[in-house]
Amino acid sequence: MTRRRQANEGGISSYSTKGGTRYRIDFTAPDGNGGAARQTKGGFLTREAAGDALLDARAKVKAGTHVRPTKVTVAGYMGEWLGGLRLRDTTVALYRRLNRLHVEPHIGSVRLDLLTPEMLDRLYGTLERGGLSLSTSRKVHTLIYGALSRAVSSGRLPMNPAAKANPPSAVEAAPAEMKVWTPQQIGSFLRWAKESRPEWYPMWHVLFATGVRRGELVGLRWSDVDLARQTITVRRSVSIISGKAPEPAGS
């Protein structure tokens, strides 16, 4: 049974449960739509605990850092955020793959507003012990940081837990120095290709002679080749998105 609040108690009231008396607080906070709404939170064992919680809630409202409680999970929010991205298809495909393989299986069920830097540190450690490279682990962090930054700017979170996490540093995640073939090795390979794989020889020859990217090479059409001027014009690049092979680029 709820008793009437006393004037000096502000937004604190008591109620009875099978386990004994409990206390709840209520206060006014932004509703996320430009207005304000009354919010309540119960379950406090003492009036003092409820009073501390009320003071904290009012301070956050005044500072503009109060966030309404939510039942949205990390998985639910990530799906929502990824669905609203306006980036290149290849970038979105990468983010979706990282989320599906490395985020959702580990922290997807965690409520968004309960996610902590410590949880993220454990995630990165688990991924790395499981064999994930430091470079990819940092990409996972970049993904999470970007998603949670948007949650902060939209009022879903008061702060970004990823900003206080400890992912692999940029130096640690840097790829090993690239090793390239010598001109002699390239020449040996091209001679082998011309004799053993003649159908692939033109492609390898163009690749080594121009340094085009793989997607640019696959995207070449006969209309891009000017035999008279001995030039090739790169106009497009082909990528694989969501595991689906691209349509042939030749004409």
In a domain, 118, yes or no: yes
Torsional class of 155: left (φ above 0), alpha (ψ -120 to 50), beta (otherwise): left
Q: Please check whether residues 47 and 84 belong to one and the same domain.
A: no
The pLDDT score that the predictor gives to residue 33 is 62
Q: State the pTM of this model.
A: 0.61
Q: Which domain holds residue 36?
A: 7-63
Domain end residue (candidates: 136, 156, 173): 173
The pLDDT score that the predictor gives to residue 242 is 58
pLDDT tens-place values along the chain, 251 residues long: 444 444 333 489 999 999 999 999 898 877 656 677 788 888 889 999 999 988 988 887 787 766 666 789 999 999 999 999 999 888 999 999 999 999 999 999 999 999 999 999 999 999 999 999 999 999 999 999 999 999 988 878 888 999 999 999 988 888 777 788 999 999 999 999 999 999 999 999 999 999 888 889 988 999 999 989 989 999 988 876 655 544 444 43
Q: Please check whether residues 112 and 159 belong to one and the same domain.
A: yes
Q: Please check whether residues 101 and 160 belong to one and the same domain.
A: yes
In a domain, 110, yes or no: yes
In a domain, 243, yes or no: no
In a domain, 207, yes or no: no
Q: Which amino acid is at 243?
A: G
In a domain, 169, yes or no: yes
The pLDDT score that the predictor gives to residue 128 is 96
Q: Please check whether residues 134 and 164 belong to one and the same domain.
A: yes
The pLDDT score that the predictor gives to residue 46 is 93
- Which DSSP string do the residues of the chain spell out, in sequence order? -PPPPPGGG-SEEEEEETTEEEEEEEEEEE-SSSSEEEEEEEEESSHHHHHHHHHHHHHHHHHT--------BHHHHHHHHHHT--S-HHHHHHHHHHIIIIIHHHHTTSBGGG--HHHHHHHHHHHHHTT--HHHHHHHHHHHHHHHHHHHHTTS-SS-GGGGS-PPPHHHHPPPPP----HHHHHHHHHHHHHH-TTTHHHHHHHHHH---HHHHHT--GGGEETTTTEE--------BTTBPPPP---
Domain end residue (candidates: 119, 138, 173): 173
* CATH code for the domain in which residue 130 is found: 1.10.150.130
- When divided into structural domains, the chain yields a total of 2
The pLDDT score that the predictor gives to residue 53 is 87
In a domain, 231, yes or no: no
